[in-house]
Structure 1
Amino acid sequence: MNKPLSGKVALVAGGTRGAGRGIAVELGAAGATVYVTGRTTRTQRSEYDRPETIEETAELVNEAGGKGIAVQVDHLVPEQVQALVARIEKEQGRLDLLVNDIWGGEKLTEWNVPVWEHALDRGMRLLRLAIDTHIITNHYALPLLIKNPNGLVIEMTDGTAEYNDQHYRLSLFYDLAKNSVLRIAKALAHELSPYHCSAVAVTPGWMRSELMLDHFGVKEENWRDATESEPHFIISESPRFVGRAIAALAGDQNAVRWNGQSTSSYQLAREYGVYDIDGSQPDCWTYIKEVQEAGKPANADGYR
Structure 2
Amino acid sequence: MQLGPSELILNADGSIYHLNLLPQDIANTIITVGDPDRVSDVSKHFDSIEFKKGKREFLTHTGMLNGKRISVISTGIGTDNIDIVFNELDALVNIDFENRIVKSDKIQLDIVRIGTSGAIQSDVAVDSFLLSEFAMGFDGLLHTYQSDTIQHKEISKAFVQQTNWSSNKSVPYVVKCDESLAQQLLSNRIRFGTTATNIGFYGPQGRKLRLTLADESLNNKITSFEHDSIKITNLEMETSGIYGLSKLLGHRAVSMNCILANRVTGEFSKNPQKAVDDLIQYTLEKLTNT
TM-score, scaled relative to structure 1 = 0.31
Determine which structure has the larger helix proportion and give its number: 1
Larger RCO (alpha carbons 8 Å, 6+ apart)? 2
Q: Which is strand-richer, 1 or 2?
A: 2
Q: TM-score, normalised by structure 2?
A: 0.32
